[in-house]
Chains A and B, each alone.
Chain A
Amino acid sequence: DAGVTQSPTHLIKTRGQQVTLRCSPKSGHDTVSWYQQALGQGPQFIFQYYEEEERQRGNFPDRFSGHQFPNYSSELNVNALLLGDSALYLCASRTRQGPQETQYFGPGTRLLVL
């Protein structure tokens, strides 16, 4: 049973560019969340997708957008990249069967903005 997978593993972009990160949830999971983790910090919640719609959003500008596909996989898009967007981007998935289902994380995508 594959866990949460993310692609690519590493990415280098320049300021002003746009980037798309991809995530496939753990088998049986239908809810995907994205997090940004800057060096030395804990992960910060960006947004969550369920039934192909954004359900919750953290304190991130609308340069950050996403999408969920019918197979529950998800994309995170970041436009007009800033140097401060350099971080580890994590995808997490879970089911919505209960109030406290365990959330499983992928290995992350390391984004460097130059």
Chain B
Amino acid sequence: LAKTTQPISMDSYEGQEVNITCSHNNIATNDYITWYQQFPSQGPRFIIQGYKTKVTNEVASLFIPADRKSSTLSLPRVSLSDTAVYYCLVGSYLRGRQLTFGSGTQLTVLP
């Protein structure tokens, strides 16, 4: 399974753009990159998923360079309610593989 490395924590201020980078040097050809958000005592919430280049939805963008050895989750204009743990997962369900959670990045948005 591809191992991921993320910063343990990040601080930001309301209204700023936040970029969280995840390293996954041994990503496999069939692996996708998925990001989840988790608030205390709640289940993780799917944010975005991509395979290559750039993916954008209503809450975030995901930038994946050509070599796919890293990815960056971009949250535009964060608010206090974006304070949460963000997990980067790399994997695929092919051949019964499971996605593995790391320790995540604690994002704290300050007023």
Contacts and interface: CB of A to CB of B under 8 A. Distances in A.
Interface of A: 4, 33, 35, 41-45, 48, 55-56, 58, 88, 90-92, 94, 96, 98-108, 110
B56 interface: no
A93 to B, nearest CB: 11
B30 interface: yes
Given A43-B44, A45-B100, A98-B93, 19 more contacts: A42-B87, A42-B101, A42-B103, A42-B104, A44-B101, A56-B98, A58-B98, A88-B41, A92-B43, A96-B93, A99-B30, A99-B32, A99-B92, A100-B49, A103-B99, A104-B46, A107-B43, A108-B41, A108-B42
A114 B34 CA distance: 36
24 contacts: A4-B43, A41-B103, A42-B87, A42-B101, A42-B103, A45-B98, A45-B99, A45-B100, A56-B96, A56-B98, A90-B43, A92-B43, A94-B93, A96-B93, A100-B49, A100-B93, A101-B93, A102-B46, A103-B99, A104-B46, A105-B36, A105-B43, A107-B43, A108-B41
A94 to B, nearest CB: 8
Chain B: number of interface residues, binned into ranges: 20 to 34
B94 interface: yes
Given A41-B103, A42-B102, A99-B30, A107 B42 contact: yes
Interface of B: 30, 32, 34, 36, 41-46, 49, 87, 92-94, 96, 98-104
Contacts of B49: 100, 102
Contacts of B41: 88, 108, 110
A4 B92 CA distance: 21
B103 A106 contact: no
Contact of A99 (B36, B44, B87, B94): B94
Given A33-B98, A58-B98, A108 B43 contact: yes
Contacts of A103: 46, 99
A108 B104 CA distance: 18
Which 9 A-B pairs give the minimum distances between C-beta atoms?
A105-B43, A42-B101, A100-B32, A99-B94, A43-B101, A105-B44, A45-B98, A108-B43, A90-B43
